[in-house]
Amino acid sequence: MSKALIETNFILPGQNNFYRGKVRDVYTVNQDLLVMVVTDRISAFDVVLPEGIPYKGQVLNMIASDFLDATKDIVPNWKLDTPDPMVTVGKRATPYKVEMVIRGYLTGHAWREYKAGKRELCGLPLPEGMKEHQKFSSPLITPTTKEDVGHDEDISKEEILKTNLVSAKDYQKLEEYTHKLFERGTRMAAQKGLILVDTKYEFGKTADGEIVLIDEVHTPDSSRYFYLEGYEERFRNGEKQKQLSKEFVRAWLQEQGYQGEEGQEMPEMTPEFVESVSQRYIELYEKITGKAFVKADASMDLEERTRENILKSLETLTR
């Protein structure tokens, strides 16, 4: 079993800032570049799990890189280079304080709210008589706040505009980009025998005022996929859908009695479980991209390999 890259601690030339998220280590260089290292950390219920998952970072970074390339005709994005399988270097942008969640089906959080009796989500009405995993007549944009600490919260378009989290002009563009990206992602998923159920997009604004797509796109950490084959039959029979997402990790934790609540003890992640999660992520990559997964060179220390590749990229980009 290959080792996992849990964290990085680089001092890069021109480095101005460093931020460690749940999964990503992000370095700011010369104020205008971001170096994003997608580590093998894994989170669930807003908690980082104690063990890393080998190749998970590579899977997420390469899927996001592919989809950024495949959607740059819709909206400009932050990516400039992918110098290492676990690294993307791109333009620094100021993130909007909202995440654009879009849902094609009544699933997950939306279903839990509906099941609890709510008939409105983020200010949008939900029709009576819907069933779990039912397709909406048209996709719904259900934004959330983007919190630095704690849980993101549902928010309506009206609240976003009223509190000036995003200007009316910019929000109109974010909605337009979100619908077009979801339409492209849905079409690409169908070609692989998948349904893009829901996803989230994050946007930022560069120093020159350009709105760009940032962070990850259409990865199994930010999106939920169902298998297209058998969807209708399972839906008619009220059965669980076969899905591609990291929901299986949440399900395992719940089976062990853990739901991220205060005072709960994290269950032990055995080597066998870690290996199974790693293999599952590789399967996700191959199904979503339609390409065979090629494991990155693990003959040298992972932190050293990523560092060397970052330095080569920065030397070129900062000339």
- For residues 46 and 150, what is the distance between their CA atoms, to the nearest angstrom? 8
Summarised one tens digit per residue, pLDDT across range 150-189 is 567 999 999 999 999 999 999 999 999 999 999 999 999 9
Q: What is the mean pLDDT of the chain?
A: 94
Specify the DSSP element, H or E, that contains 247: helix 247-255
pLDDT (0 to 100) of residue 148: 65
CA angle 159, 160, 166 (to 5 degrees): 160
pLDDT (0 to 100) of residue 171: 98
In SS3 terms, 100-160 reads as EEEEEECCCHHHHHHHCCCCEECCEECCCCCCCCCEEEEEEECCEECCCCCCCCECCHHHH
Amino acid type, 72: K
In this predicted structure, which of 113-117, 119-123, 149-153, 268-272 has the lowest mean pLDDT? Answer: 149-153
In this predicted structure, which of 1-5, 77-81, 129-133 has the lowest mean pLDDT? Answer: 1-5
> Residues of the chain with pLDDT > 70: what percent?
98
Summarised one tens digit per residue, pLDDT across range 220-268 is 889 999 999 999 999 999 999 998 877 788 888 989 999 888 888 899 9
Give the residue-averaged pLDDT of 22-45. Answer: 94
- Residue 206 in this model has a pLDDT that exceeds 80: yes
Sign of CA dihedral 75, 16, 305, 317: positive
Beta bridge partners of 154: 144
pLDDT (0 to 100) of residue 319: 83
- HSE-up of 275 (CA within 13 Å, CB side)? 5
pLDDT (0 to 100) of residue 149: 60
Give the residue-averaged pLDDT of 71-89. Answer: 98
Domains and CATH numbers, the chain: 95-244 (3.30.470.20)
> Residues of the chain with pLDDT > 90: what percent?
82
- Residue 1 in this model has a pLDDT that exceeds 60: no
- Residue 286 in this model has a pLDDT that exceeds 70: yes
Residue of 250 and 312 predicted with greater confidence: 312
234: helix, coil or strand? helix
Residue located via tokens 């084959």: 229
Give the residue-averaged pLDDT of 271-281. Answer: 93
